A and B are shown apart, each in its own frame.
Chain A
Amino acid sequence: MRRRALRAVALFYLAAVLLGPLSLVFWRVYAEGVHKAWVALADPNTIHAFRLTLEVTAIAVPLNTVFGVVCALAIVRRRFPGKGLVNAFVDLPLALSPVVVGLCCFLLYGRTGWFGPWLQRHGIQVLFAAPSIVLVTVFVSVPFVVREVVPTLRELGDTEEQAARTLGASGLQTFFRVTLPSIRWAVVYGVVLTTARCLGEYGAVAVVSGSIQGRTETATLRVQEEYENLNMAGAYGIALVLAAIGLVVLAVMLRVRPRAGSVA
């Protein structure tokens, strides 16, 4: 009885907070007219926005995957001064509002910022251009791989790695043949979360990109743009595609993630 009540509460909460709004987006696209939504999606600026989002994601995800695994190995397997600090800094992007991250970017790379004048002298455009979008996206998506891999590495322990060493494997061979295969599901899960975060980033990008149509406008910014122009069908259509990409990523994750208790 109690268990059933708990389940009902959980399902109701999920339905109200997640499924409701999501299905509303689908419904609105249908209600506003599929054709109008299609026109908005076929707009070259929309296509550019999606391409920019995917490109930024394609840079940020591999970067943060490599960094995340290395960082997790350092946190779990090594002892070094400042380790606690590193551990805390990894969580910083979760604690900071993305808007604050965007503003920090301004303070560093803006015309009066720390690196601003130097960059300007060398003709490098960071703000209102792709580099700043990549920078803030990388920053906000740092924690996911680290946070997935750290507990897995801890639980794994290091005796398998020691065994590999005694059998003649070098550090790199041990990593690729023993450590990586053992943490691969955690890495995959982390990559999926990182990807979702990169696709959906809005606040920090909104501050630094300038939302220039056809140049620095990402997919999420494009949704906002259409919405402000009262093109509801377009806004819902783009939102739908973004949500669909997210759902596909989620589905892939659920498929590859091994069920508890299965072999290797």
Chain B
Amino acid sequence: MSIAVSRLSKRFGSFQALDDVSLSIEDGALTALLGPSGSGKSTLLRIVAGLETPDTGSVVIDGEDVTARPPQERGIGFVFQHYAAFKHMTVRDNVAFGLKIRRRPKAEIRARVDELLDLVQLQGLAGRYPSQLSGGQRQRMCLARALAVSPKVLLLDEPFGALDARVRAELRLWLRRLHGETHTTTVIVTHDQEEAMEVADEIVVMNRGRIEQVAEPRELYDRPANEFVMSFVGSAHVVAGGWVRPHDLRILLDAEEDALEAQVARIVYLGPSVRCELEGADGARFAVELTRDEEARLELEEGCIVWVRPTRETVFARADG
């Protein structure tokens, strides 16, 4: 179901968490709210869920204005960063919670819970307590719990933030597959741009309580709306007045016209690629990403002098103020 928020503002004391934010999310989309901490992305999600009340503005889910409704009447599923598993209940009882509240027949609850445990691959662990599960298993249980009541929209607040990198990557893929099966409108909050790019159809970049840009992953990366988005989504440096991404610079061994002189400060081997950190004549530091072959051909060493030329750069009109 679609979500539309309009002109939302929220203050916590003197901190402006959201500043006149409007956004609409299509039915069936998987959208990421991406931004640094304090950008308002979690606050926005919690207001959609009804866990936080906005100072001004409205929330519409599936065509209905739910601004004044408590969370239990919004038809949402919510997944928290730190699980919020019911510690005194088994996995089965956790997943069944929403159905029991809705007083569904016992046989139906049993069948639905089994189906969901299959979906999240926790079939054999129904009788365990949350403290007996790993972090990844716990979060999958919480996802099943949220999905059990067939929510109109699924909201995830940094769901993989507390997990280690490998489990996180696994769950991302899994979430993407799950969305492909259920097509539930899903909003995921993350501060990890890679996670947003990998999972979402559309990314909403937030900063200081405002939306900076809404775009598909590729467009966001190739055509960032401003300097904040350019530097927050992927890495970027200012080289000779323009914004350049590390893979859009070429290293030359001889001086050429328009090329910038720089000294190699450090060479970092990242596995598939090599990052060469340079220091320009003006003291500015920036990085160039090379393939391993290129690096081998250039025979770079720390301390040697090279010339660089951007193959692609972005210049933003100066923002006011």
Contact = CB atoms under 8 A, between A and B. Distances in A.
Interface in B72-122: 72, 76-78, 80, 82, 84-88, 97-98, 101-102
Contact of B131 (A178, A182, A264): A264
A215 B80 CA distance: 59
B71 A166 contact: yes
A253 to B, nearest CB: 20
Nearest to A163: B84
A43 interface: no
A159 B101 contact: no
Contact of B80 (A159, A168, A169, A263): A159
B88 A170 contact: no
A258 to B, nearest CB: 11
B78 A166 contact: yes
B132 interface: yes
B38 to A, nearest CB: 19
B51 A162 contact: yes
Contact of A168 (B84, B86, B101, B129): B101
A164 B142 CA distance: 11
Contacts of A263: 129, 131-132
Contacts of B132: 263
A162 B84 contact: yes
Contacts of B87: 160, 182, 264
B205 to A, nearest CB: 26
Contacts of B145: 163, 167
Given A168-B101, A173-B101, A181 B88 contact: yes
B33 interface: no
Contacts of B49: 166
Nearest to B46: A162
B297 to A, nearest CB: 54
A77 interface: no
Nearest to B74: A166
B77 A166 contact: yes
Contact of B51 (A160, A166, A169): A166
Nearest to A165: B71
B99 to A, nearest CB: 9
A170 to B, nearest CB: 6
Interface in A155-190: 159-160, 162-170, 173, 177-178, 181-182
Interface string B142-186: 100110010000000000000000000000000000000000000
B242 interface: no
B139 to A, nearest CB: 12
A162 B77 CA distance: 11
Contact of B72 (A159, A160, A166): A166
16 contacts: A162-B80, A163-B84, A163-B145, A164-B86, A164-B97, A165-B51, A165-B71, A166-B76, A166-B78, A166-B146, A167-B98, A167-B101, A168-B102, A168-B149, A182-B87, A264-B87
Q: Which 9 A-B pairs have the closest CB atoms?
A: A167-B98, A166-B78, A163-B84, A159-B84, A165-B71, A181-B88, A264-B88, A168-B101, A168-B72
Interface of A: 159-160, 162-170, 173, 177-178, 181-182, 263-264
